[in-house]
Amino acid sequence: AQTVTQSQPEMSVQEAETVTLSCTYDTSESDYYLFWYKQPPSRQMILVIRQEAYKQQNATENRFSVNFQKAAKSFSLKISDSQLGDAAMYFCAYRSATTSGTYKYIFGTGTRLKVLA
């Protein structure tokens, strides 16, 4: 079974600085997707960035980028120029890409990001 581990329960970053959130996962599959979701106090999960396992190039989305190390099963999120609105819970998630799969997400336990003014 696949597992996702986020070892940082809480992180803080100064506004305009850069912060990296860690995520490791375990799987025996070769084809899968990895995601970072943001969950503000409103509870709504918002997709931040997605990485296809078969792509070597790291995904980027404006101020958000990932460092995907497939062999090490590591998938960290870097937030540049942090803004107050980035404060939220961040969840790393895994999804199988097998054609018979249900594509359910497997989530980590989350990292609470605080942005200091």
Which of 19, 23 has the CB closer to other proteins?
A: 23
The interface region with other proteins, picked from 11-19, 61-69, 71-79, 87-95 by CB under 8 A, is: 87-95
The H or E element spanning position 75 is strand 74-79
- Cα(9)–Cα(53) distance, rounded to whole angstroms? 25
We find the least distance from the C-beta atom of residue 98 to other proteins, in angstroms, to be 8
The interface region with other proteins, picked from 14-22, 64-72, 79-87, 108-116 by CB under 8 A, is: 108-116
Site for other proteins in 15-34 (CB under 8 A): 33
* Contact with other proteins (CB under 8 A) among 52, 63, 76, 114: 52
Look at residues 45, 66, 47, 48 and name the one whose alpha carbon lies nearest to residue 57: 66
Residue 71: CA count within 13 A, CB half-sphere: 0
Indicate the DSSP class of residue 30.
S
Look at residues 56, 60, 93 and name the one whose alpha carbon lies nearest to residue 78: 60
We find the least distance from the C-beta atom of residue 87 to other proteins, in angstroms, to be 17
Residues that bind other proteins (CB under 8 A): 4, 33, 37, 42-47, 50, 52, 91, 93, 95-99, 101-110
